[in-house]
Structures are given as C-alpha cells and as structure tokens.
Amino acid sequence: MDKNFAARRRRDLIIAAVLTALAASAPLFVKNVYIQNILVLTLMYAALSQSWNILSGYCGQISLGHALYFGIGAYTTELLFTKFGVLPWFGMLAGGGIAAVIAMGLGYPFFRLRGHYFVIATIVIAEIGLLLFQNWEWAGAALGITIDVRGDSWLKFQFMRSKLPYFYFALALCCLAWFVTWWLEDSKWGFWWRAVKDNPEAAESLGVVVFNSKMGAAAVSAFLVAIGGAFYAQFLAYIDPESVMGFQFSLLMALPAVLGGIGTLWGPVLGAAILIPMTELTRSYIGGSGRGVDLIVYGTLIVAISLALPQGLVSLFARSKAKGATR
Amino acid sequence: MGLLYGLIAVGLALIFGLMDVTNFAHGEFLMIAMYASFFLFTYFAIDPLLSAPLVAAAMFVFGAIVYLFIVRFAMRAKANAGMVQIFTTFGLAIVMRGLAQLFFTPDYRSIPPSLIGGKTVSIAGIFLPEPQLVGALVSIAAFAGLYLFIHRTDFGRALEATREDPGAVALVGIDKNRVFAFGWGLGAALVGLAGAIMAVFFYIYPDVGASFALIAYVTVALGGFGSVFGAFAGGIIVGLVEAVTALMLPPSLKSVGIYAVYLLVVFIRPRGLFGSM
C-alpha cells in the first residue's frame, strides 16, 4: 500500500514534468494569438481551480466565494501600481498576503458553520465585497481601474507586443499550484484535511485540530487565488468589480475541479483543459449572434458531465485501471 | 417588499429547505414564470393576477419534469452529491437563460399598468400600491397553505420522511420519486405564483432571476432550513432590513444590510432562526 502510494506520487511528478515541458513548448507551434489567449486562460483557471481545490476539495469546505480573494489580489496589485507606483510583483505578494489574512479572519467565524449555511455565507461575503468595491470611489467604483501602459518589461509585468510572457507566467503559476497540492497531499496537513472532510468529530478525537487545519487550507487557497487575480488584472490591463469579483468567478473556479474530480490532484487541470477551451470556442463560434445559443450548449455540457461522471473526469482513468487504484 | 421576498423564497423553502436539494435554477424558474405571465398578458390580454393560477399550474408541470428528468439523476450520485446538485442545476440555469435570450431576446420588457396596477389603497392613513398589497396577501396565503400542507397532510409527512431516510420510506411503500417530483412541482408552482405577481411591477429580462435568487437563498437560510415559518419570518426580516439600509446607505448598497444580517444571525445561531437542520 505504502509502496504503491510512493510510486504513484513519483509517477504523478514525472507526468507533471512531461506535461509542463509539452505546454512550455506549445508556443513554438501555436502562433495564433487567439489560441494563445485560450491557452493562457486555461492555465490560469487550472491554477485557480487547483487552489480552490485545496480548501474545498481536500478539506471539504465548499466555498463559492473565492471571487473575493481573486478580486482582492487584482485590486491590491492595481491600486498599489496605479496609485503608488509599486511594482506588480510586490503588489501580487501583498495581495496574496492580504487575501490570506482576510481568509483567516473570516475563517474564525465561518468555520463554525456547516453545510448550506457555510456555502451561503461564502457567497454572501463575496457579494458584500463586490458591492463595497462598486461603491468605493477611490478605487474607481463601478468603472474600475485602467492600468497605465508603461512599456513591455518583466519588471513591470506588462507586455503589449506578445502574449508569451503571460503564457509562461500562467504556466508557472499552474505548476506552483499543482506542486503545492502535490506536496501538501502527502504532508501531515493533507492527511488532516482529508480526515476533517470525512469525519470532523472523529478527526478531532484523534488529535487533529480541526479548526486550525481548516484555517491553514483557507490561507493557502486564498493566497494562490489572489496571485491568480493579480495576474488576470495585469493580463487584461483593466479591471472593474464585476469582472474580477463577480459570482461567476467563484463558480468558474469551482467548475473545473468539480468536472475534473473534486479533491483529486489531477482533477482541476483536467477539468480546466477541457472546460475552458470549450467555453471560449462555443462563445466565439456560436456566441457571435448574441442570442444565447452558446449558453445553451455550454449549460447542456455542464449538466451532462456532472450527471454522467459525478466523481469527475479523473474517475474515467481510475476505472480503466481499477486494480491499480489504491487510495 | 418583505412579503414579496417571502413569496419568492417560499418555493425555495420547500425545495431547498425541506427536501434538502440545492436548486441553483430557482431564479430562472422565477424568470420564466414572469415571461409566461407577460406573454399571457400581451397575446391574450389576461391580467397577470388572473393568469397567476395558470402560470402556477404550468410551473408545477415544469418543476416535476425538471425533477424527473434531471434532478433525480443528480441526487443519485454517490460521491459529492452536493456539488453535483449545485452544478447540474447551475448548468440548467445557464441553459434556461440562453433559451430565454434566444426566444425572448435580451430586451427589457414590462407589463403596462393593468387592472390593479397604478392604484393605491389607503389603510389607516398609509397608502400602499395595490399590486404590492395583492402580492403580500398572496404571500401570506401561500405560506399558510404550505405550512398546513407540510404539517397536516400525509403528503407533507411523507416528504419529510423521505428526506430523512429514503430507504425506510421505500419499505413502507412510499415512492420517493413521486413524492419528490410532487414537491418540486409544488415548489415551482409557488415560484410561478411569485413570478406572475412580480411581472406586474418589475422589468422582465433573461437575467432577472439572478438578482432575486441570492436573496431567496439568504431568506431561506436566515429563517433556517427545514422550517416553513422560518422562511416566512426570514422574508419579513429581509424586507425590513432592506428598507432600513436604503434609508442609511446609498441605494446601490441596500443589499449589504441583508447580507450582513444573515452573517450576524448565523454567527450567533448557526442553524438560522428557526432551523431544525
């Protein structure tokens, strides 16, 4: 059992390295800017979903309010950049830090709640954040912030001529989120989280400090999501509350993980790799009419996948080699 | 206004609160009910108030169909059933919005002042617009009806028993799917009633449901899951809080008060005000 587990983890690491190498060489073949754009978004959502999965998948605390952390990351970076000229790299870390602190501050009362009460509380807190930012004059209120263009440079993390730097950063972020998950999966935290998810009372009686382990998961998850938000803001060069803090972001972060396999290492990546290109392609090929056909197709696919594979797409792989499954 | 929120929430209280099934398409149910009463008015000149029973009946069929063809399978999932329910109904909501855009166009529509619209009634010196008053009365009637239904009839007991233990009810000869399909139908019919009345004084457009759905969830959760009376009380509180916040803060922030009160309530009472789950 243990040997298999160790072997599986080594295998996961090798697969990840191969996939990263493949992804990193993709721009050599893909010159089309539109497709590069889709790749960037796919990697970003993979990273976000991977981060969401840490709290909601592994630790079992379903949050539909992660748009809050995403927005905080985006806004911290851009407010620091446009108002005080602080480089986005520092803004990014500051945003991640603030998001993590807020996540822990909120966790203090939130983690007492169970089930639907918790989920609705997460939705509501993100909605409060959205409304506050929409009414915060200094931060641009509902109009948002347009980020000044100060030329292409890694220093300022702005690139006008090419999307490739964004692509590599998104890839790096995705690898980071994956690696953090991979590393945590086998740490004491990973075991605590799964115990907390399956049976909090039993976990507590065995000496797991349930509350602290939830807090840890929330902080890591929020930090990574906020970095993603900072990236997204630089990528779009324009942010407004609805486009970085809207409820749809919370759902879009959760969706790849759920479709791919919630609480699994590969679920978010797999889900994002299928879902995001699908979203973008339906939007641009059938959505042009503005008549909602793209929504119909997209919604139908979501219904179909969630009904057909309730444990996510990774369950297909697990099924094909059922005997090797030792979890 | 509080009673109107209550009216939207009452259908959700049944589906989400009593049967413990997450329905993220609740707002879209409201949206199509509003369209239904709009079209009945435009093409057949039936006043929304008179068409309300028709809309409710149609929504009953629709709700039952949604349960039998979609939700039933979502509930069968062995692992993470909650997420499957959330995303299945979320997908359904997207499809319904898309269909509404396709067939009804994204234009804003409204029903011109109808039989009861535009008039006001004076009660003890307080003037109330008539549609709101009718809405309030219907809302109280709907809650009373649902309360009696759940607590005084065999079906209500069957519904609660089915949620508690589907295996055991099967042993005593209750068909789980029939009970839940009926429950979904009833929940949809109630939101249909709400939609027909709301169509009189709100703009109708494909995304209209989203703005009311979150408040409906908050209302149900505030009152506490599993309690019809809780949802009713939740509706009134939400309406009052909104009115008070609107006085103190800019109108765009009026929902903040509702959300803050929800958080406050669940921090003090993690099961909502009258919740039993």
**DSSP code per residue over A37-73:** HHHHHHHHHHHHHHHHHIIIIIS----S-THHHHHHH
Residue found by looking up tokens 């855009």 in the block: B101
Does A324 touch chain B if contact means CB atoms closer than 8 Å?
no
- Domain containing A287: what range? 2-324
Q: What is the pLDDT of residue B129?
A: 64
Say if the Cβ atoms of B91 and A262 lie within 8 Å. Answer: no
Q: What is the pLDDT of residue A1?
A: 47
A50: domain CATH number is 1.10.3470
- Nearest-Cα residue of chain B relative to residue A294: B98
Residue found by looking up tokens 């209120």 in the block: A141
Q: What is the pLDDT of residue A179?
A: 77
Q: How many helices (H) and strands (E) does chain B have?
A: 12, 2
B219: domain CATH number is 1.10.3470
User: Which positions in chain B touch A258 (Cβ < 8 Å)?
Assistant: 80, 83-84, 87
Say if the Cβ atoms of A113 and B79 lie within 8 Å. Answer: no
Say if residues B24 and B86 touch (Cβ distance below 8 Å). yes
By CB atoms closer than 10 A (0-12, 13-18, 19+), residue A188 is exposed
DSSP A147-194: PPP--SBTTTTB-SS-SHHHHHHHHHHHHHHHHHHHHHHTSHHHHHHH
The span from the CA of B259 to the CA of B43, in Å, is: 39
* Angle A67-A69-A70 from CA coordinates, rounded to 5°: 60
Does A117 touch chain B if contact means CB atoms closer than 8 Å?
yes
Q: pLDDT per residue over B211-269, tens digit each?
A: 788 888 888 888 777 777 778 888 888 888 887 877 777 767 777 878 888 888 877 77
Q: Per the structure, how many domains does chain B have?
A: 1
The alpha-carbon gap from B200 to the nearest alpha carbon of chain A, in Å, equals 26
The span from the CA of A31 to the CA of A36, in Å, is: 7
How confident is residue B111, by pLDDT bands cut at 50, 70 and 90?
low
Interface test with B, best of A128, A249, A294 (most B CBs within 10 A): A128
Question: Would strands B120-123 and A238-239 be described as parallel, antiparallel, or unpaired?
Answer: unpaired
Q: Which of A62, A82, A80, A78 is nearest to A70 (CA)?
A: A78
Provide the CB-side half-sphere exposure for A89 (13 A, CA). Answer: 6
A22: left (phi over 0), alpha (psi -120 to 50) or beta: alpha
Report the percent of chain B where pLDDT is more than 70: 81
User: Does B186 score more than 80 pLDDT?
Assistant: yes
The alpha-carbon gap from B44 to the nearest alpha carbon of chain A, in Å, equals 26
**Residues near B63 by beta carbon (within 8 Å), at least 6 away in sequence:** B29, B184, B185, B186, B187, B188, B189
Q: Per the structure, how many domains does chain A have?
A: 1
Tell me, rounded to whole angstroms, the distance of Cα A6 from its chain centroid.
27
Digitized pLDDT (tens) for each residue of chain A, 327 residues in all: 466 777 777 777 777 777 777 777 777 777 777 777 788 788 888 888 888 887 777 777 778 888 888 888 888 887 777 777 667 777 778 877 787 788 777 877 877 777 778 888 888 888 888 888 777 777 666 666 776 666 666 656 666 666 777 777 777 777 787 777 877 777 777 777 777 777 777 777 776 677 777 777 788 888 888 888 888 887 777 777 777 777 778 888 888 888 877 777 787 888 888 888 877 777 777 655 556 677 777 778 878 877 777 777 777 776 555 444 444
- Domain containing B32: what range? 2-112+130-268
Q: pLDDT per residue over B18-39, tens digit each?
A: 777 778 888 888 888 888 888 8
User: Closest partner residue to A310 among B70, B79, B93, by Cβ?
Assistant: B79
